[in-house]
Amino acid sequence: MFKRVEFLKSVYRLEDLPLPEYPEIAILGRSNAGKSSFINAFLNQKKLAKVSSTPGFTQSLNFFLVDRKFYLVDLPGYGYAKVPKEVYENWQILIEGYLKSPRDFCLLFLIFDIRREPDELDQTLLKFISYLNMPYALLLNKIDMLSKREIEIHKEKFIKSLKIPKNREIFLISCKEKIGFEPIRAFLKKVLKLSI
């Protein structure tokens, strides 16, 4: 279990990124997939990251320092149609610049609403991540909304549509019900070589 979680800062411009003093895990995904909810639920916090049913809610990179050992970074979501063009371009510049900057990335969590069909934007994200050659794991969220059988069917759709390799970690979770976190914790332990 995590003992100490600190909100460090919100970043709107690449110049304001904190020093890469700790290994970093960034959470990427479509707007409304549950990135901020994941931070709260996984770290067992109530209102650390702001959650909203309004898509496009998180507009900055938000850095959380966990047990003074690693950063968990909440990113703004993509794919929200109502976002003005300038905001979307700013998103691209910020996220691309961040992911390409010389930091100590140890993992990306790509989070999806398991009920949604992956689309071209999701495929573009996967291509970009593969091109950067960064380690990533899939989090398929909101499993509380589906039956066991539906979960399996949807999972297979994601694997096929996003061309996920066989050995890639895929976690089935519900941030609402706090389901599926234990395997993620074990995985992080391995990735970060921590005793958490």
Closest CA to 196 of 60, 70, 40, 29: 70
Which of Mg ion, ligand GTP, none does 118 bind, CB closer than 5 to 8 A by kind? none
Among positions 9-28, residues that touch Mg ion (CB under 5 A) are none
Binds Mg ion by CB under 5 A, chosen from 32, 40, 58, 62 = 58
154 φ, ψ (degrees, to nearest 5): -65, -40
Residues of this chain that interact with ligand GTP (CB under 6 A) are: 29, 31-37, 51-53, 55-58, 76-77, 141-142, 144-145, 174-176
Which of Mg ion, ligand GTP, none does 141 bind, CB closer than 5 to 8 A by kind? ligand GTP
In whole angstroms, how close is the CB of 184 to ligand GTP at the nearest point? 13
Binds Mg ion by CB under 5 A, chosen from 32, 36, 40, 141 = 36
CB 144 within 8 A of CB 177: yes
Q: Does 32 bind Mg ion (CB under 5 A)?
A: no
Residue at token pair 């320092």? 65
Closest CA to 163 of 192, 136, 188, 187: 136
Residues forming the site for Mg ion (CB under 5 A):
35-36, 58
